[in-house]
Every structure is written in structure tokens, then in C-alpha cells.
A and B are shown apart, each in its own frame.
Chain A
Amino acid sequence: MTEQLASIAPLAPSAAAAAPRRRRLWARVLRRPAGALALLWIALVVGGAVLADVVAPYGPLDQDLSSSFAGPGGAHLLGADQLGRDVLSRILHGGQVSLLAVAQAVTVFVVVGTLTGLVAGYRGGRTDRVLMWLCDVALAIPLVVTLLVVLAVFSRNETAAMLTFGFLASAGLGRVVRAAAMTVRSDDYVLAAEVAGLRAHQVVARHVLPRVLPPVLVQASLLACSALLVESGINYLGLGVQPPTPSWGGLVTDASAAIASHPWLLVPSGGVIVLTALAFGVLGDVVRDVSADRSDTAPTSWRQLRTRVRRTTPADAKAHATADVAGKETDAADAKIDAVLELRGLRVLHEGTALVDDVDLRVAPGEVVGLVGESGCGKTLTLSALLRLLPPGLVLEAERLEIDGADALDLTERRMAALRGSAVAFVPQEPVAGLDPSFTVRAQLREVVRLRDGGNRAATDVRVRELLEQVQLPDADRVLASYPHELSGGMAQRVAIARALAGRPRVLLADEPTTALDVTVQAEILALLRDLRERTGLAIVIVTHDWGVVAELCDRAVVMYAGRVVEEGTVLDLFDHPAHPYTRALMAANPTGAAFRERLRSIPGQVPSPRERSSACAFADRCERRESDCTSTPVALVLTAGPTTGSTGAVGDRRVRCLHPVTGASPTKPATGPSTDQKGEYADAAR
């Protein structure tokens, strides 16, 4: 479930995520200390090699026998070898040989590997099969033997060896690029480019190549690292450049001859090889980290996965201007009403910014409450807060959170975990994604039943069957033996509900449980939820953006906007007399009630990001009923005597957060959809 909730994390700092995302890859690499150091070292070595003729204090072959085996310092910064040749100068000049060899290998590797991968991944079909078969062959050729043969045939031609090395290794890159290209291939914007009539090479250059570039850079860095080591090996064995021309591998050979008497000599030559190889490797790692978008937001420890909880008092609530509580009633009588879930004064904070602010929620046993609103209004965060499972980095503040009589603000993480599933359970939006793909339904249901009931295997299996019956899954044997991907969306959602019911919860929290389903399946799931409520007295809190779902399922609706509750009331009352301009606008935007091709009433602008929210009415900017006080005064959620508050006591009361609420009937005309009679007829006919 934490996986599920983590997936909503990017939702929180949406404004922050939108702007600086576009920073160039290299700029992001440089921001990391390891990346900056690696790049600095590589720049130093390459620069030194290129400018060796200028910067080197001596010529590479200049001998000065008087300073044979001179130590570091003085005239020779890194010492001198047996013939008195300056080690620093030889390293700089040797770099020309070694780094050129690396460049040759990397160039062939990148060009051949990327082209192969792009063609195979983009074209697919037979081209793909032939190219991948060739890659397999290339990967099966023993590398070292081939290099030795090449060096023998081309008589110590190092370039030939490095080109061969790069070519053979490129088969691996080809496979990586192909996999990346195949996933991009079916993306909508690539399809759109094809529909736009772009030629294949244009589509690849504009849309596919940029996406496969990060893995290419990673692989190229890692290959540079191994190419350097191979090149050094070749020269160490004396199969490459001939003395006295310096190369890094050759310098190590020279040094190893005198290792007993002058061990220092090995340090500069060996060191430069090790450090350069290391720099290439580190660079590859950093590029990979930086190009994986999640690295910035991923939690660094398990502790951070726990939601931080802070209890506040009504006085605290008064302190922050956004939640003025003048007129907010905190009756003792109100609190006495039997509620299976009670939340008061919820705030969800991200780095001090309130994403959810001043949310109260009371749910009676057997009651179905809908949380309604557009994306980014805090519905899902409110639901996550009820489970104390906020995305990492967010803080939960509340005056009170009671679930089935337990004070959930005080519980230890372990006790809270026990409460989840037994008192309060959760059903996610994507039923298949919410189940573990590597276990059968039987295994997953057994696991939760054993966790809740203990008991032996026979008792567990009886309970598992009972759960499947409860969610009206026919053909139980087949379902139990299936893996989640073998189930249809509707069956998977039934299994997810069965799993949620295993601990006999009193409240079920459901996050858009039917949004991903087909309409006919949606109708079945809604019927199931209604049925469960009636038979078991289960209370349900359901997040939805669909007024149809609210109308069909809920007793009460809570409308959220920009992290706050703007209106709540019984569903009949709310549909008949929506009082908040936002509720009315949202209802009017629904095409269901509108005439054919009639202009729909849309809401200008968009939901303000958490940072831009006014402490006064957050909807004022988009509201057609705005008056001057709307933008200056904080607005409380107040009890109103709705025009037809013939409702069932305090739980059903009507509350509105608006200085100028609308009175009068709903803006929507009677639905032009099927009439009641017709709907019944359809249903009959469908049977």
C-alpha cells in the first residue's frame, strides 16, 4: 500500500516540480559533488594530454641520468625514472596514446551500439530479430583472444585492437538501447509524430533518441573505464605502443621492473590509471542517478516512510490565519454522536505549506461519504491521512483522529499498523496494481486472513471462501488459483475488496475504486459496495470526481477545493440546493444535464497550487459571485440551515465555506438521460 501512496507523491509539490525540471543533464551532474569531481579529473587528464607539448616541463624522451630514480619534488614534480626521464611529462604524453585509444573504442561503441539499438527497437519485426541475433553472436565471441589475434595480425596496431574492442562491446549497448527505444516507441507523442507524417529518421532523431541518451551516456562511461584498463593491459604486456614512446601501461611496466628498489615510481603511473578509470565509472553512476527522475524524491531511510504526526489544539488552529475558526462549533453534544471515524482539524504540510487545511470528517456506522473535487484538491491526501500513510516528507497535523474509538494520533506505528486492516481498510484505484503480481489470489488472501485471525490452514481456507462469497465472486476455485494479471479489472477489484474485508473493518476507504473500470463493471462494484454496507453496516469513505458515483452510492458528500472542505451535506440536499459556487460550477460542468451541444459552463482558470492559495477564499479568483470581502477575509466552514434540512441529526448537517452562498435550486436541469422507468427497463432487458 505504501507503494500506492508513494505514487501520489509527485502530486504534492506540483508547482515546484513543473518549473525546474528542465535543467540540463550536465548541469545536474555537476551539482553532485561526485559528478563534479569526476568531470574535473577527466577534464584535467584530457586537457593535460592534449596540451602535453605545451604544459609538460620536459620532453617525454629527455634523459638526465644524473637524476635517475629521483624522488618527487624539486626539478621533477613526480620524480624521474631509471633513465632520469620526468615522470609527469611521460604521463602527460602517455595520456595522448591511452586516451586516444579510449576515445576510439568509445566512439565505435556508441555509434554502432546506438544505431543498432534504435533500428532494432524502432523497426521491430524481422529487422529486430536479425539484429538481436547478430548481437548475441558478438557477445559470444571471447574478447581477450580476439584482441590478441587482432594485435598479432595487425602487428601491434593498437587502434585496430581498440576499434575491435568497441565494436564487440557495442552489442551490449545495442540491447540496452533497443529496450529503451521499444518502450518509447508506443508512447502517444511518438504516435502523434507518425500521424504528423514525419519520416522515420525524423521521428527517431527528435523523439526517440533523446529518451535513450541517458542510458547511452551511462554505458559509454562504463565502457571508457574498461577500455582504459584493457589499453593499459595491452601496453603493460608490450603488445601495443613500443618503447621508448610513453603510454600509461608502459609506464607501469617500467615501474614494476624497479618495484623492489624504488616503489614510488609505481604510484604516479598506477595512480593516474586507477583514478581515471574510477572517474569514468563514477561519472556513469552519477549520470544514471541523475537521469532517473525519482532520485530526488526517493526516501533515504525507512524512518522517513513513517508519517510524522503532530497533535494540535483548537488554539493552534486559531494561530494560523488560513483556518480562522470563528463560528466553528465544537459542541460537546456534537462529539457524543456515535461516529466510527472522527477527524478534526486535519492539516497536511509539505515544507510548511499546507496541502490540506482544516478538514473535519465524521462518519457514522453504515454511512457512505463521498469526497468530491477536482484533482489536486486534497481528496486522496485526506484519505491517506486517515490511514496515517502520507507520502514521504509530508507532516500530518490534527486535533483529533479517532478510528473505531481508538485515538490514532497517539498510537505507536506498530499499533497503527494493526488498526489498518482491522478497523479501517483501503481499496486502491488500480485493482491489478494493488495486488502483488508474483502470488496467487489464494496466497494473498490467506496471508491477510492468517495475519488477522491466526488459526490453522483449514479455518483460514474457510474464511477465504467466505470472503470471496461476500464480494460475490463466482467460480472461486479458478479465481483463487489465478495470478492478478489473469483477472479482469472487475474481478481484481472484487479481490481487492475481499482482502480489505479480511480484518472485518468498520470503515472502508476507497480511492476512486471504479474509475479504471468499464461502466458495466463499475455498476457491479457500486452495487457490491451498497450491498456490503447494508448487510454488514460497513461505513465507506469514497474519493471520486464523478457526480454519478456520488448520486448512486453516497449518503453524504464532502466537496473539497484547494485543500479545504467548501461544502458538505446529505446527497439529496446537496444536489437539490448546492450552496457553494464551486459546487454549483462543478455540477454545471457535467455534460449529463446539458442539452445537445449546448455550451457547458466551465470554470475559468485552474486550481491554485498550494503555495498560491489565499488565506481568504481560495476559489474567489474563479468565482462569478466574488465580492470585495471574499479576497480579504478568511472564511470558516459554517453550519447552515439548508432549505430542506430534513436530515438525520448533526451528522447530516449542511456546512458551507462561503461568505455569499447561493440559495435556490440546483443549476442542472433534470437529466436528459434515461428516465427512471427507462432505466428500469434497460436493466430488465439486460438480464
Chain B
Amino acid sequence: MPLVEIDDLSVTYGARRAGRRSTGKAALADVSLDLHRGETLGLVGESGSGKTTLGRAVLGLVPVSAGAIRFDGEDITRADRRTRRRLSQRIQVVFQNPYLSLNPQRTVLQSVMETLASSPEVDRAEARARSLEMLERVGIPPASADRYPGAFSGGQRQRIAIARALVPRPDVVVCDEAVSALDLSIQAQVLNLLVDLQDELGLTYLFITHDLAVVRHLCHRVAVLRRGELVETGDTAAVCAAPAHPYTRTLLASAPVADPRLARA
């Protein structure tokens, strides 16, 4: 059984304002996808393709207008706040911009501990210990855990954001362009870290990105979205070697290749 099942999911922004405009803008239309335990599914597309919306629907941050999302067999399409609070320990997120995803007025330890706050069985002392442990695991010395995000570089902040997402030991992590804002050498560090953590903790990633090189490197399977519709999905190697949909071909052909001989051919 897939860990996350997405069936005919549609998200329409503005549709909720009943009476004013009955038809809003469809951000996602009838998308069906499965996410299996332990895999990385790359979600590729350009701006306006709905890839971020899909991630947010799984996280419960946008209202779903039709279709269903099942997590571990449970229907979470319109989960209430209480269910969401429970799910927060199992579905987590890493955002794109490490400068916006940490509250500048709270220490990194406070930020990391926050993900455990809604878990009743974890007391403060344990939350603290686990947070420090996770910070150390991602390469942030526990001694600097009481400093504010301003004291850290972009790459370090992204590690902190990863620690915050992983400290409740979730099953699924939605990575929304999690390495896109980073410099190459830092991106390499974070990609290595993501691979290691996945092998170590058996994580499942929903990896949202526009960067095909990163998808090829990291994702077992890939799903290509265009204007809210799923155009192609399959094993990454197979899709890249023999793209079936013309749009996938366009995407592949457009990505710049870091090899001057190939690029100029």
C-alpha cells in the first residue's frame, strides 16, 4: 500500500468565496499520484504548474476542492485541526528560502523544539534533548543552539530547517524547492545530507523542484506537472531517457547542460 495516495485531486483558489465568483482559478486538476515508503518522488514543473500547491495540499495548508488524499490508509483530505496536529508529527516540510523559514526572533533551538510542542507524550526536557541531537546530526554544534538565525549562513539555516522538520521523526517530508536557493557547494552538502538521512531514517520525500539535474541525482521517480495537470510520471531514469510527453521533452531540452561541448553541439 502506498504511504500517500492522491486521487483525482483538484485545488481551486478563490472557489471558497461562494456567491462572488463561482469558478476560481484551478491550480490543480484531477491529479493522481502515489508516494511509496522510502522513496523520493520528484515533482517537476515550471511556475504555475501547481507543484507547490500539491505539496501544500498534502500539508493541509490549502483547501482541497475535489478528490482525496490518503495517508497511511487514512483519509486526510479535509482533516480537522486536531487530526492535523497529530499528523504534524508524521508529515513535515522544508521550505525554499532559509532566510524566511526561521523566525529571526527565536533561537534555533526554540524553532527546532517547536515541532515537538504539539506532541503530548514528549516533555520539555526530552524535546530539548532530541532537538539538540538532531541539530548535531545535521551538523549544527549544540553549543550554538541558543543563537539566533542571524548568526548562521544560508546553508546552516537550511540544515536547521531540516532538523526542525526531522525532529518528530516524520514519515514524509515535503521538500519545497529545498535546495534551489543555495549555492552549488552548499547545495551539494544539503543533497548529501538528505540522501544520508533518508537511508538512515527511512524517510519518504516529496521533492518539489524545477531543477532537473537535482531530480536526476536524487529522485527515484518523477512526476511532471504542467498548468495544474499531471503530464507524465515514471522512474526518473526511464522518463529522462525516453520522455513520452512533448512537454517533458521540452523541459529536458531546455535545461542548460554544464558541458560546453554538448551545449554547443
Question: Given that A673-B255, A682-B243 are known contacts, is A518 also in contact with B260, CB under 8 Å in the complex?
Answer: no
Identify which of B153, B161, B195 contacts A597 (C-beta below 8 A): B195
Closest chain A residue to B167, Cβ basis: A196
- Min Cβ gap B62→A in Å is 11
The answer, yes or no, to whether A127 is at the interface (CB within 8 Å) is: no
Residue-wise, chain B 16-54 has the 8 Å CB interface mask toward A (1 for contact) of 100000000000000000000000000000110000000
Closest chain A CB from B176 CB (angstroms): 9
Report if B259 contacts A (CB, 8 A).
Answer: yes
B260 x A523 contact (CB < 8 A)? no
Check B253 for interface membership: any CB of A closer than 8 A.
yes
B118 beta carbon closer than 8 Å to chain A? yes
Check B216 against A606 for contact (C-beta < 8 Å): no
> Which of A189, A193, A603 gathers most chain B CB within 10 Å?
A189
Residue-by-residue, is A512-542 near B (CB-CB < 8 Å gives 1, otherwise 0)?
Answer: 0000001111110010000000000000000
Query: Provided the pairs A18-B150, A198-B114 are in contact, do residues A519 and B257 lie with their beta carbons within 8 angstroms?
Result: no
- Rounded to whole angstroms, the CA-CA distance of A548 and B264 in the bound complex is 11
Stretch at the interface among B3-11, B64-72, B95-103: B95-103
Of all chain B residues, which has the CB nearest A202?
B117
A594 to B187, CA, bound (A): 13
Closest to A207 in B: B103
- Which of A170-178, A302-310, A412-420, A585-593 touches B? A585-593
Given A192-B164, A194-B61, A545-B183: A590 and B258 interface contact (C-beta under 8 Å):
yes
Asked if A682 contacts B217 (CB within 8 A), the reply is no
Given A192-B93, A589-B184: A676 in contact with B258 (beta carbons within 8 A): no
Check if B100 sits within 8 Å of A673, measured CB to CB: no
**B123-173 interface (Cβ within 8 A of A):** 148, 150-151, 153-155, 161, 164
Chain B nearest CB from A56 CB (Å) reads 42
Contact A374 B184, beta carbon cutoff 8 Å: yes
Instruction: Name A211's closest neighbour in chain B (CB-CB).
Output: B105
A597 surroundings in chain B (CB, below 8 A): 195, 217-218
Q: Decide if B256 touches A526 in the complex (CB within 8 Å).
A: yes
- Name the one of A518, A672, A680 contacting B46, with C-beta atoms under 8 angstroms: A518
B249 CB contact (under 8 Å) in A192, A572, A686: A686
> Is B262 an interface residue when CB atoms closer than 8 A count as contact?
yes
Task: Specify the chain B residue showing the minimal Cβ separation from A600.
Answer: B188
Query: A679 contacts which of B86, B161, B265 (Cβ < 8 Å)?
Result: B265
Cβ contacts under 8 Å, B103 to chain A:
189, 193, 206-207, 210
Q: How far is the CA of A509 from the CA of B71 in the complex (A)?
A: 50
Residues of B within 8 A of A596 (CB): 216-217, 236-237
**Contact present for B251 and A519 (CB under 8 Å):** yes
Q: Find the A residue at minimum CB distance from B17.
A: A125
Q: Is the CB–CB distance between A685 and B249 below 8 Å? A: yes
Q: Are B260 and A551 in contact (CB under 8 A)?
A: yes
Within 8 A of B (CB), among A526-574: 526, 545-552, 571-572
Q: Are A18 and B256 in contact (CB under 8 A)?
A: no
Closest CB in chain A relative to B255 CB, distance in Å: 5
B216 → A minimal CB distance (Å): 7
A294 / chain B contacts, CB cutoff of 8 Å: none
**Contact flag A520-B250 (CB < 8 Å), given A19-B151, A187-B100, A197-B88:** yes
Q: Which residues of A contact B153 (CB under 8 A)?
A: 606
**Which A residue's beta carbon lies closest to that of B213?**
A592
Does B15 belong to the interface (CB within 8 Å)?
A: no
**Could you tell me the distance in whole angstroms from the C-beta of A589 to the nearest C-beta in chain B?**
4
In chain A, positions 203-246 with a C-beta closer than 8 Å to chain B are: 206-207, 210
- Residue B197 interfacial (CB < 8 Å): no
Q: Is A191 an interface residue (CB 8 A)?
A: yes
Q: Is the CB of B257 within 8 A of A552?
A: yes
Min Cβ gap A297→B in Å is 15
**Chain B's nearest CB lies how many Å from the CB of A431?**
13
* Contact assessment for A600 and B213 in the assembled complex, using a CB-CB cutoff below 8 Å: no
- Interface pair B256/A552, CB less than 8 Å apart: yes
Near A by CB (< 8 A), chain B positions 181-222 give: 183-189, 191-192, 195, 210, 212-214, 216-218
A22 and B150 in contact (CB under 8 A), knowing A192-B164, A206-B106? yes
**B150/A545 in contact, CB under 8 A:** no
- Name the CB-closest residue of A to B119: A197
A598 vs B111: C-alpha distance when bound (angstroms)? 31
Is B47 touching A489 in the complex (CB atoms < 8 A)? yes
Complex contact B254–A520 (CB within 8 A): yes
Give the residues from 670 to 687 in chain A that come closer than 8 angstroms, CB to CB, to chain B.
670-676, 679-683, 685-686
**Are B251 and A520 interface neighbours, CB within 8 A?**
yes
Taken residue by residue from 647 to 687, chain A's Cβ proximity to chain B (1 for < 8 Å, 0 otherwise) reads as 00000000000000000000010111111100111110110
B227 on interface, CB distance cutoff 8 Å? no
Residues in B neighbouring A606, C-beta threshold 8 A: 153, 155, 186
Chain B residues positioned under 8 Å from A199 (CB to CB):
81, 85, 118
21 A-B pairs with CB atoms under 8 Å apart are A22-B150, A193-B103, A197-B84, A374-B183, A518-B210, A521-B46, A550-B258, A552-B260, A571-B260, A590-B213, A590-B258, A591-B191, A594-B217, A596-B216, A601-B188, A606-B186, A673-B216, A674-B253, A682-B249, A685-B250, A686-B250
Given contacts A125-B16, A198-B117, A575-B258, 11 further A-B contacts (CB under 8 A): A18-B150, A19-B150, A195-B59, A210-B103, A519-B212, A550-B258, A551-B262, A552-B256, A590-B213, A594-B217, A673-B240
Which 9 pairs across A and B sit closest by C-beta, in order of nearness? A548-B256, A197-B88, A197-B118, A682-B253, A547-B258, A518-B46, A591-B217, A600-B188, A589-B188
Could you list which residues of chain A lie within 8 angstroms of chain B, going by C-beta atoms? 17-19, 21-22, 125, 187-189, 191-199, 202, 206-207, 210, 374-375, 489, 518-523, 526, 545-552, 571-572, 575, 585-594, 596-603, 606, 668, 670-676, 679-683, 685-686
Chain B interface (Cβ within 8 Å of chain A)? 16, 46-47, 59-61, 81, 84-89, 91-93, 95-97, 100-106, 111, 114-115, 117-119, 148, 150-151, 153-155, 161, 164, 183-189, 191-192, 195, 210, 212-214, 216-218, 236-237, 240, 243, 246, 249-265
